[in-house]
Every structure is written in C-alpha cells, then in structure tokens.
Amino acid sequence: MPRTRSGGGAGAGVSSRAGGELMSIGAVLARLREEFPEVSVSKIRFLETEGLVEPQRTPSGYRKFSASDVERLAYVLRVQRDHYLPLRVIREQLDALDRGDPVPLPAQAEPRDPLEGVLEPAAPSPVRVGREELLAATGADGGALAEWESYGLVEAGPDGGYAAEAVAIARLIVDLGRFGLEPRHLRAVKAAADREAGLVEQVVAPLRLHRNPQTRTRAEATARELAVLSVRLHAAMVQSALRVRLG
C-alpha cells in the first residue's frame, strides 16, 4: 500500500502515474460505502487532515484520489472498525507498510454466536480513542456526541478518552438513528443495561472478595458468562414480545 503520488491535472479523465484514473471525493465515497456504509465526506476530510491520505488537488482546489489513496482509506476504516486502533497507531502502521515492513494486527476472536459478538470482554480494553477519533469512527458530529453524553449513553473517561465499548455503542446509536430512534428513546435501554449489570455484580462481588486467588481469578470469566446469558435472555424476550405484538 505505497503512498504513491498522482499526476497533475484537473477533470474526471485525469490519470495517475500508475495508469489509473483519479477520482473525485464523491466517487471515493461511493466506492467506500460498499464496505463502510457509515463513511461520510467529512470523515474522509478528517482523515486527510490527520495526514493519513494525501489526495492531489486540481488548480481549482478539488481533491483527486488515486487507487492507492482509496486503498489507504479502506485500510484505516477497516482497522478502526475491527480493532478500534487509535489514529496514531494506524499512522505508524501505514508508514511501516510504505517501507514494506510487516504489520501485525491484534487477534480478532471469532464470536461463538451473533449475540455474543456484540459483547466486549469484561476486563477494560487498554485501547482508548480521543473525541475526534470517535466522531470519525461513527461519522457523527460534536452535537450528536454531546446529546449521547447528556443521556448517559456514552461516557468519556477521566483522561477524556473513550473505551472501545463506547465506540461500539456510538455506532449502534447511529444505526438505530437510521430507523428514527433518537437518543432519548434509548434511555430505557441504558436503564435496563444498568440493572442487568447490577445483577451480574451481585453474583460476582463475593467471588472477587474470596480468599482463594483462583476464585478471585474466576470472577472475570463468570462475569463474562453471565453477561452473555443476560444478553441472550434479553434478546429472546424481545423476540417473544414482538411475536405477540406483531402477530
């Protein structure tokens, strides 16, 4: 994925040095949305501002992207989506790829079922992202983030950063918004999640205080298993209720 620079010129028929045609930002957006439906023009511009892609500019100031630019954007979006990597780490990986160095990615465990796949590990993830990175990962703006935070749906840590779970939650909020569900509608979901977490805590708390170190170690695995069972129960009950309501 070398950072090749494109040849000059304006217009739709301009070709890069590699022999491919340069694309407008609209054409790039259409291509990326095949894999990343949430991507937006503002997100592409943000990634350009961060130096992750360097499109050519026509004399009129329009961006023109080469095929390698699109590959770089897809790589950035993919590792953000699949591994929640900060832009600083992604930039280092791109530099390594430009040099031809191998870039190992964090292992991504295969979920045992779709419901379990939406859960994060019980232990806090060491990966944290900043405010701009969270907005870039979701395609939302600062006003939307402020609204999510006002309802307690997304919370920043003491350092101002966001955990990987916050990115996953924000993406789900955006997806639900496409169906007309607003953050205020999701307060009940947040309240239910807090109650379910409280039930798990009641079971796990005695294990964490046990004198036996092995028992304390088992507390995390127990919390994980209870969380999975809780989500399955919640999903089954929602499906059952919908079956009754919708016939």
pLDDT band at 106 (very low <50, low <70, confident <90, very high): low
Query: 112-159: per-residue pLDDT in tens?
Result: 444 444 444 444 455 678 888 888 888 888 889 999 999 999 998 888
> What's the pLDDT at 127?
66
Do the Cβ atoms of 86 and 130 come closer than 8 Å?
Answer: yes
Q: CB within 8 A of 167, min separation 6: which ones?
A: 84, 129, 134, 137, 138
* Pairing, β 128-129 against β 63-64: unpaired
| Average pLDDT, integer, range 203-227 | 81
> Rounded CA gap, 100 and 27, in Å?
28
Neighbours of 149 (CB within 10 A): 14
More confident residue, 13 or 209: 209
Q: CB within 8 A of 134, min separation 6: which ones?
A: 145, 154, 162, 166, 167, 170
Query: 25-67: per-residue pLDDT in tens?
Result: 999 999 999 998 878 888 898 889 888 999 999 999 899 999 9
Q: What is the percent of the chain with per-residue pLDDT over 90, rounded to a whole number? A: 23
Tell me the whole-structure pTM to 2 decimals. Answer: 0.53
Q: What is the percent of the chain with per-residue pLDDT over 70, rounded to a whole number? A: 83
- Judged against a pLDDT cut of 50, whether residue 9 lies above it is answered with no
Residues of the chain with CATH 1.10.1660.10: 25-99
- Judged against a pLDDT cut of 50, whether residue 218 lies above it is answered with yes
pLDDT band at 10 (very low <50, low <70, confident <90, very high): very low
Q: Which fold has domain 25-99?
A: Multidrug-efflux Transporter Regulator; Chain: A; Domain 2 (1.10.1660)
> Rounded CA gap, 73 and 192, in Å?
37
More confident residue, 69 or 238: 69
- Judged against a pLDDT cut of 50, whether residue 109 lies above it is answered with no
